């Protein structure tokens, strides 16, 4: 593995992660509410247009280093796992909306449809061009996971939200290009992670909803390991 590739991937991740805090902050609102137009700490209004969204550094008040660190580490991990293959730039780009989705889900238990769609387009189209022979299995994986998760979401108790259903179907489609073992490992890992968190909350007698999006995204990274 070339150290230069890992360093470049980490630099890309760090640079992309620097622009995520403000976007995540503005979109971390309950379902149905508009994006934040101002900082809740200092009441400073965000500029209108793209200037209110495209901003490197903290959203306004507070720190913005965590997305930079997470994105940089994720870029390095992807470079180590995949190596110098044509799929690496695709997954590096997909990691940007992936980290953003995780930040929003952790903040308000919501996975915006537009970001899930962006993830599907940013990664799905290039992977389909690179591996046209895998389009069939990828679609089958997406439909299988999507249907299973939708059935769970419709059960009493709402164990999954519709955002989880859409993200799960999207990630299954993307992992399908790597093969069925990647799909199995990815979603198995996601459920193990969320199960461990839910068990810990139960043992410590803490009652709060557990976002499933971050576990799905981490599980997908584990699924890619099987294809490396």
203 pLDDT higher than 90? no
The reported pTM is: 0.93
Q: Into how many domains does the chain fold?
A: 1
Structure-token pair, residue 155: 């059960």
Output the CA–CA distances (angstroms, integers) from residue 158 to 152, 153, 163, 205, in the order listed.
Answer: 7, 5, 12, 21
By residue range, what is the domain housing residue 129?
3-227
> Which residues fall within 8 angstroms of residue 90, CB to CB, at 6 or more apart?
122, 123, 126, 127, 130
**27-49 pLDDT, tens per residue?**
999 888 999 999 888 888 999 88
**129-157 pLDDT, tens per residue?**
999 999 999 999 999 999 999 999 998 87
Cα–chain center distance at 126: 18
Contact criterion met (CB below 8 Å) for 137 and 180: yes
Contact criterion met (CB below 8 Å) for 149 and 169: yes
Confidence at residue 1, expressed as pLDDT on a 0 to 100 scale: 60
Listed residue (160, 174, 164) closest to 221, CA to CA: 174
């Amino acid at each position: 593995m070339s150290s230069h590739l890992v360093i470049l991937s980490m630099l890309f991740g760090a640079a992309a992660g620097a622009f995520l805090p403000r976007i995540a902050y503005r979109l971390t609102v309950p379902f149905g509410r508009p994006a934040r137009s101002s900082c809740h700490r200092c009441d400073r209004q965000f500029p209108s247009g793209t200037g209110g969204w495209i901003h490197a550094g903290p959203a306004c008040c507070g720190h913005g280093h965590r997305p930079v660190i997470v994105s940089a580490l994720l870029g390095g991990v992807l470079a180590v796992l995949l190596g110098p293959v044509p799929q690496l730039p695709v997954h590096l780009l997909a990691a940007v909306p992936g980290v953003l989705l995780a930040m929003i889900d952790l903040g308000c238990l919501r996975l915006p449809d537009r970001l899930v769609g962006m993830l599907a387009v940013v990664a799905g189209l290039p992977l389909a061009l690179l591996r046209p022979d895998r389009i069939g299995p990828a679609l089958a994986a997406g439909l299988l996971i999507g249907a299973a998760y939708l059935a769970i979401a419709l059960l009493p108790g709402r164990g999954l939200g519709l955002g989880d259903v859409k993200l799960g179907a999207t990630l299954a489609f993307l992992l399908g290009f790597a093969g069925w073992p990647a799909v199995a490992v990815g979603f198995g890992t996601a459920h193990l992670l969320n199960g461990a968190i839910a068990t810990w909350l139960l043992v410590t007698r803490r009652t709060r909803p557990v976002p499933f999006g971050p576990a799905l995204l981490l599980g997908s990274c584990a699924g890619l390991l099987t294809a490396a």
